[in-house]
Amino acid sequence: MGYRPPVRDMQFVLRHIAGMEELAAFPALSAATPDVVDAVLDEASKLASEVWAKTNVAGDRQASRLEGDAVKTPDGFKEAYTQFAEGGWNALVCSEAHGGQNLPWALGMAVNEMWQAANLALGLCPLLTQAAIEAIEKWGDDAQKKTYLEKLVSGAWTGTMQLTEPQAGTDLAAIRTTAKKNGDHYLLKGQKIFITYGEHGFTPNIIHLVLAHMDGLPDGNEGLGLFIVPKFLVNADGSLGKRNDAHAVSLEHKLGIHGSPTCVMMYGENEGATGYLIGGEGNGLKCMFTMMNNARISVGLQGVALAERAYQHALSYAKERVQGFKLGDKSGKRVAIIEHADVRRMLLTMKATTEASRALSYYAGSMIDRMRHEPDADRKKLAAARVDLLTPLVKAWSTDLAVETASLGIQVHGGMGFIEETGAAQYYRDARILPIYEGTNGIQSADLVFRKVLRDGGAEAKRFIGEMKDFCKDAAAMEKAIKALEETTAWLLTHAKTDLESVAAAAVPYLRIFATVAGGYMMARMARAAEAEDYKEKLVTGRFFMEAILPQVHGLVAPVMGGQSAITKMAE
């Protein structure tokens, strides 16, 4: 089963949800005219479907392997990456100052969805390079930008994000990798785990962004720094110098994304790995969150991509698999299973939730564009607040839905879905990492509640809820769902003053309520636009979301508002 990027739906969401016409009005994004947007989507669709997607199964079955301290990636991966980089795709949303194309982040999200759906294991490589670009662009000095950004933007080099360690997990204050000052640089020693594309042969150099404790600074978060640690040191003329003391020593054996090399990295087995501080002493976490927030939105988009791929696979099978009779048909003719009501329910669930999460993700992308390019200071500040609020929603909801959607895809296949040869199982295995990546979805829920809702007294949450109420004032289902969101938000704000444990226990169902309502808002906006364009398919999925998905929020109100007492009282 191949992959066909849903270009029409992407175009529709970019127009009516992301507001491409408004984004193109910003001088820096003026190149994003409708014909350019359509041409970008069409060309990306060709590379994704004709090249990248064809490497997906081979990548899963062959996996990456370590030979010495070099990684051998599956057949076709390097060639697919090379076509991607030579086509300028890595530079799409990057600044012209460093060789980028200055196109909107929202458009970049649509294109990135194609890479991730075509081959998630391969798509992880440029995703992390983008995070490294963001960090160096924001925190690097002029010399660092000159040395690294042009190569990273072009895709000639790739980047990694190296944060956690075996004893630390999410508690980054517990990391033990050290950085000691040595002239104009630092020497790093330690171990990092779960490092995606920490080693590979796609490019001659890899630029690692490594979090380490700085010698002489206090323990904990205040003592952390973020360091540029290249695989090969870079000479003054831009040529590559000696190999740095940083090596992959093993690859993790994983449930899914087998084609992606997930490395254990060792620093300083000899004299120490040369690293260059960015962002100043003790500012490691601040710099890290530039990468982390970028990656969280991108991982949410990976959830959309995997859900789309699983849906297409299940839909194709349901059209071809003949089994049973249509209810009420006395002819004795066997029919394809897509004619059975429960299969249609599963497929519509997959389709509607994917479309809602796509719209919410692209909407977040458009807010990133507004945050970056809006000349009015007040509007810029509001866009930044909206990005902050949306980030945990997009990351957690989209990735949870990806797992649920991939599981439904297996169910549509019946027993054959449990057999690897049909391919449905790969999407489930690949999707399962997404709710864990870049802060588990429990952490995203805590981030939503404590950092995004409680920190400003619910101001931005209430502003977003108000926008949804204004738009949906004549839609009964949405009005009822928004009321549930208002009630649970008020409960959190009240109980945060006296019972933080209960608030923490309520965070995950609260995020599900908020994201589902926000998804319903996206579907309502798209339905209004679809009526004007006679986009009947979109109207059907919108109606299904309102009738079958949105009402689920009401079953989550009790678990938020006091239904979690057992969580806090159960003996360890």
Residues recognised as catalytic:
438
Long-range contact pairs involving 22-29 (C-beta distance under 8 Å, separation at least 24): 23/104, 23/106, 23/366, 23/369, 23/370, 23/373, 24/104, 26/369, 26/373, 26/374, 27/373, 28/102, 28/372, 28/373, 29/102, 29/103, 29/104, 29/369, 29/373
For helices 341-373 and 105-118, the axis angle rounded to 10 degrees is 140
Distance CA 326, CA 314 (A): 19
Q: Which residues of 523-536 are buried (b: 16+ CB within 10 A; e: fewer)?
A: bbbbbeebeeeebe
Q: Which residues of 398-431 are buried (b: 16+ CB within 10 A; e: fewer)?
A: bbbbbbbbbbbbbbbbeeebeeeebbbbbbbbbb
- Sequence length of the chain is 572
Beta-bridge partners for 28: none
Distance CA 251, CA 263 (A): 5
Q: Please enumerate in sequence order all residues whose Cβ is within 8 A of that of 436, keeping only pairs 6 or more positions apart, or say none.
A: none
| Continuous segment of H or E residues that includes residue 277 | strand 273-278
Local structure of residue 419 (DSSP, 8 states): S
Nearest to 350 by CA among 320, 322, 319, 314: 314
Measured in degrees and rounded to the nearest 5, phi and psi for residue 435 equal -70, -10
Q: Please enumerate in sequence order all residues whose Cβ is within 8 A of that of 172, keeping only pairs 6 or more positions apart, or say none.
A: 163, 164, 211, 221, 224, 285, 288
Tokens of 61: 């079955």
DSSP three-state, residue 63: coil
| Continuous segment of H or E residues that includes residue 262 | strand 262-267
Tokens of 491: 């409960």
The residue type found at 381 is K
